């Protein structure tokens, strides 16, 4: 699954006002000097909570020399996904959202985001903006049975 339906994302925000506040907080962050404190991980979290295909925010280097010199293993995508799954970074992840993103919401997103490993995939697998893994590890039928 590469995007989340509104039925799924509505589990994070129980009313439209909460969702609007979340989006407004993100806009405020991006239009302030604090935008320099945001990491790829924060951007990934925001896109995931909105149900978007967050993979589109990451582009692999195409330069052969850069890839040979470690650009693939150092790709921000791998770091961002790892940091989301690390519980020790939770306060740093939640901080910019100022209470609008709760630990429970973060835990739910963690269960739905993949944990790909840079050493399992090869750069060629990402050619032509193709992805060897889905953006979300969730099936709507499974969610319906858990309601």
Measuring CA to CA, how many Å separate 20 from each of 6, 15, 50, 91?
14, 9, 11, 22
Contact 146, 49 (CB under 8 A): no
Is 119 part of any domain?
yes
Is 25 part of any domain?
yes
Look up the pTM and report it.
0.84
pLDDT of residue 24: 94
Is 130 part of any domain?
yes
Q: What is the C-alpha separation between 44 and 89, in angstroms, rounded?
A: 15
Is 81 part of any domain?
yes
Contact 34, 96 (CB under 8 A): yes
Positions of E strands within the chain:
none
pLDDT of residue 143: 54
Domain assignment of residue 50, given as a range: 6-146
Could you list the mean pLDDT of each consecutive 10-residue stretch along the chain, which spans 147 residues? 81 87 94 93 93 86 73 78 88 90 90 84 75 78 51
pLDDT of residue 141: 45
Number of domains observed in the structure of the chain: 1
Is 1 part of any domain?
no
Is 17 part of any domain?
yes
pLDDT of residue 146: 52
pLDDT of residue 42: 95
């Amino acid at each position: 699954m590469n995007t989340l339906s509104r039925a799924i994302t509505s589990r994070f925000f129980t009313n439209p006002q909460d969702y609007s506040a979340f989006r407004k907080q993100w806009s405020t962050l991006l239009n302030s000097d604090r935008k320099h404190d945001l990491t790829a991980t924060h951007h990934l979290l925001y896109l995931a909570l909105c149900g978007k295909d967050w993979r589109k925010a990451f582009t692999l280097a195409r330069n052969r020399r850069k890839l040979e010199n470690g650009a693939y293993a150092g790709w921000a995508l791998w770091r961002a996904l790892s940091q989301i799954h690390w519980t020790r970074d939770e306060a740093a992840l939640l901080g910019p959202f100022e209470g609008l993103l709760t630990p429970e919401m973060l835990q739910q997103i963690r269960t739905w985001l993949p944990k790909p490993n840079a050493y399992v995939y090869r750069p060629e697998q990402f050619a032509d903006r193709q992805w060897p893994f889905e953006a979300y590890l969730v099936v709507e039928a499974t969610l319906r049975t858990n309601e």
